[in-house]
Amino acid sequence: MKDYTNGQNIAAASEKEIHTDFEKNMTYGEYLQLDKLLSAQIPASGQHDETLFIVIHQVSELWMKLILHEMQSAINCINEDNLQPAFKQLARVSRIQSQIIQGWDVLATMTPTDYLKFRNSLGNASGFQSYQYRMIEFTLGYKTKHVLKIYEKEKELHQQLLSAFQKPGLYDAAIQKLARSGFGIDPELLDRDVTMVYESNDSVKQAWKAVYQDADSHWELYQLAEKLVDIEDSLQQWRFRHMKTVERIIGFRQGTGGSSGVHYLKKVLDHYFFPELWELRTEI
């Protein structure tokens, strides 16, 4: 039998600086507040797969928190004509989105039978009510005022969402940047009501088209456009995986929050956040 003792002794001797006394120092668990984080999974039923359901959705919410953090920072950088940091932040958003997309693959291991064992325990709680997802939509320019009513129960949260609803989004910042770079953007668009859902504008399409046709002269704007396309592409993949996972588990049942479920999720797949960036691809 091989003796591993000597190897263990060598390893221990080489790691003499490892800290083991935390009486007066902060630990890893304290820094991350793992006591709160890991005690937040409280199933409403005794069913095995409910823990999976809770963890997947909580992890998604943490990722969404980081998406909002990065997108707001990117907006600030674009407004300051400091695009290089914005590129890194928007690229990070795309990477985060890939993590959420893969999360649906894990949830899809739950069968219809597994889910139906605890579905009634959810009551009317639904992912449709995710306020961070709404804030992501608002930040990307998809403003739907009627959904704000869902959050009236919590006054502080409702005010936070209302503030996001009334603020210019990521694409508004990009369009303003196009105007500051000398492109002829319609003046009324630059002063538009940002609480309305953004709709395609020809002056914006022509500006982006000029950027793509002479990328060398407009390299930063070209990079910005592609970062925006990356985010929308990933978001649509996210939405599609959500829709197919729901269809796989509950078919075409109504959602617990009262939405039409798969029918609703299919409908939102048709929406474009940055329409001109997709339209011009047929023309260049």
Residue of 65, 75, 205 lying closest to 139 (CA atoms):
75
Q: What's the mean pLDDT when you consider all of the chain?
A: 91
pLDDT band at 23 (very low <50, low <70, confident <90, very high): confident
Angle at which helices 131-139 and 155-166 pack, to 10 degrees?
Answer: 20
Binding-site positions for substrate: 53-57, 115, 119, 256
**What are 50-55's contacts with CB under 8 Å, separation 24+?**
50/118, 50/121, 52/106, 52/107, 52/109, 52/110, 53/107, 53/110, 53/115, 53/118
Residue 42: what are its φ and ψ, rounded to 5°? -120, 95
Q: Tell whether pTM > 0.85.
A: yes
Q: What is the mean pLDDT of residues 105-112?
A: 94
3 against 22, higher pLDDT: 22
Q: Which domains does the chain have, with CATH numbers?
A: 1-36 (no CATH), 47-283 (1.20.58.480)
Binding-site positions: 53-57, 115, 119, 242, 256
CB 213 within 8 A of CB 225: no
pLDDT band at 137 (very low <50, low <70, confident <90, very high): very high
pLDDT of 13 > 70? The answer is no
15 against 44, higher pLDDT: 44
CA distance 188 to 208: 18
Binding-site positions for heme: 242
What confidence score (pLDDT) does residue 17 get? 79
Distance in angstroms between the alpha carbons of the first and the last residue of the chain: 70
pLDDT of 12 > 60? The answer is no
* Lowest mean pLDDT segment, chosen from 69-73, 120-124, 267-271: 267-271
Residues 6+ apart with CB under 8 A from 9: none
* Lowest mean pLDDT segment, chosen from 26-40, 57-71, 130-144, 237-251: 237-251
CB 67 within 8 A of CB 93: yes
Residue of 237, 226, 223 lying closest to 97 (CA atoms):
237
pLDDT band at 67 (very low <50, low <70, confident <90, very high): very high
| % the chain with pLDDT above 70 | 93
260 against 59, higher pLDDT: 59
Give me the helices (H) in the chain, please.
5-14, 28-32, 34-37, 50-79, 83-107, 112-116, 131-139, 155-166, 170-180, 187-190, 202-213, 219-250, 262-268, 275-279
Question: DSSP of 139-177, one letter per residue?
Answer: HTT---GGGGGGGTTSHHHHHHHHHHHHS--HHHHHHHH
* Lowest mean pLDDT segment, chosen from 176-185, 203-212, 264-273: 264-273
CA distance 117 to 46: 9
Which is it for the CA torsion 233, 82, 167, 96, positive or negative?
A: positive
1 against 34, higher pLDDT: 34
158 against 6, higher pLDDT: 158
pLDDT in tens, 242-275: 899 889 888 888 767 666 678 878 888 888 999 9
Q: What is the mean pLDDT of residues 151-166?
A: 95
What confidence score (pLDDT) does residue 6 get? 59
pLDDT of 4 > 60? The answer is no
CA distance 194 to 220: 25
